[in-house]
Amino acid sequence: MMSGKDIRLRRIFHADGRAVVVALDHGQFKHEPKGLENIKEVLSRVVDGRADGIILNPGPASQFASVYAGKAALILRLTGASTEHNPNFDYHRQITTVEQAVALGADAVLVMGFIGGRGEAHSLELLAKIAGDCSRYGMPLIAEMLPVEPDRFYDTEWIRCAVRVGYELGADCIKAYFSGEPAYRSVIDSCPVPILIAGGPKVADPQDMVRQALELGASGVAFGRNIFESNDPTGVTEKLVSMVHS
Ligand code: 5RP
């Protein structure tokens, strides 16, 4: 018998077990992120591009439901409370609850997990607590697992540790950076749940990164800036959907 988690996950990961997720949650950390000034417009364009899911903070999730409902799955961000002006990058707190995610119609929730900084213990404790809430409500948990030091963001060893910790604490799916190395297969092999590749800063052509990540076993992408900073968010989303699901 399928559980509530399985049913919700099917709305994000279709029959091929892969997904294209678009992250539009940057406004919680940055004042007017470039390309996201009109979030409703971008949301509508990535929905037109047939994104499987979108990551939103509670405000836009509730205000713009008519744009995405029935077309793209909602992944609600549950942690934040730390802007670009806070010197402690890993100072994240819980900003809303799994119960609220249920009320908003979410298909999954997303929680940040930081590795290696002063905020590590708090962030992992919170991740584990929310994993318990998710189990009670049948809500899939996506853990965005990040080494806290920018010079470790793309370090395969650190990413392997980060994704494994996310899985061990109860995540159903991991969002993590791609290091671009063949050794990334060891990251995938060490993590029994699907990994979606996070995008990072906009690059001229993200397709090579996506192709490599899929070949090494990633289950898809969770991209933000590479989509909403482009001139054609619909076209970029369509291209990713065709690569990921072909
Ligand atoms: C918000 C985030 C993003 O969800 C994540 O970083 C993916 O977006 P991008 O592809 O722009 O890195 O955590 O700040």
pTM reported for the whole predicted model: 0.96
Domain edges within the chain: 4-245
Beta strands in 81-227 (DSSP E): 93-94, 108-115, 141-147, 173-176, 195-198, 220-223
Q: Decide: 104 and 58 in contact? Cβ < 8 Å.
A: yes
pLDDT for residue 202: 79
| Residues 174-217 pLDDT 10s | 999 999 889 999 999 999 999 999 988 778 888 999 999 999 99
228 CA closest ligand 1 atom index: 11
Q: Is the CB of 198 under 6 A from ligand 1?
A: yes
Ligand 1 neighbourhood includes 206 CB (under 6 angstroms): no
Instruction: Please give the pLDDT value at position 97.
Output: 98
From the centroid of its chain, how far is CA 76?
Answer: 10
Ligand 1 within 6 A of CB of 200: yes
Ranges under pLDDT 70 in the chain: none
pLDDT at position 29: 87
Pocket test for ligand 1, best of 22, 24, 26 (most atoms within 8 A of CB): 26
Q: Look at residue 31 in the predicted model and tell me its pLDDT.
A: 73
pLDDT score of 20: 98
Q: What is the pLDDT of residue 218?
A: 97
pLDDT of residue 205: 83
Atom 2 in ligand 1: which residue has the minimum CA distance? 26
Atom of ligand 1 nearest to the CA of 77: 4
Q: Do 205 and 232 contact (CB within 8 A), yes or no?
A: no
Sign of CA dihedral 210, 213, 217, 220: negative
pLDDT at residue 58, as a whole number: 98
Atom of ligand 1 nearest to the CA of 223: 10
In the prediction, which pLDDT does 32 show? 73
pLDDT of residue 3: 95
Homologous superfamily of the 4-245 domain (CATH): Aldolase class I (3.20.20.70)
> Which pLDDT value is given to residue 128?
98
Where are the extended beta strands (E) located within 11-163? Answer: 19-23, 53-56, 73-77, 79-80, 93-94, 108-115, 141-147
Is the separation of the CB atoms in 52 and 12 below 8 Å? Answer: yes
φ, ψ of residue 57 to 5 degrees: the values are: -80, 165
> What pLDDT does residue 204 have?
82
CA dist 52 and 179 (Å) reads: 24
pLDDT at 83: 86
Distance 191 CA to ligand 1 centre (A): 21
1 CA from centroid of ligand 1 (Å): 34
